[in-house]
Amino acid sequence: MVTKYQKFGDGYKAEAVKLYRESNQTIAETARNLGLKESTLANWVKKDKDNEAVAVGEAPLTPAERTRIRELEADVRRVRLSQGCDISWCFGHAVRPRPGMLAGS
């Protein structure tokens, strides 16, 4: 059986990444709304992040620095989840407890 892959132009990829970044949606939600696989959009977002312009006079991030940043971002997500924060909502916002989270306080 032959599997055909859909090809997307650079402009479409850039618009999809922009839509994700400007929304309060997760990658999965944005991908679903665009009719894409989550992993496809995640790859585009990662590639775009890795290719972001470097400020004048600064050296680009090393692979080790990129890895460390991803680890720290994952730590932040874990902490926010442990505090009862809805990840799709809380990035860029104050942490909002889920219903019942403060009942035992």
pTM: 0.49
83 close to 97: Cβ distance less than 8 angstroms: yes
Q: pLDDT above 70 covers what percent of the chain?
A: 71
Contact 96, 86 (CB under 8 A): yes
Does residue 71 sit in helix, strand or coil? helix
Q: Domain extents for the chain? A: 7-51, 63-105
Q: Tens digit of pLDDT for each residue in 14-24?
A: 999 999 999 88
pLDDT tens figures, 26-77: 999 999 999 999 999 999 998 887 777 565 567 777 888 888 988 998 898 8
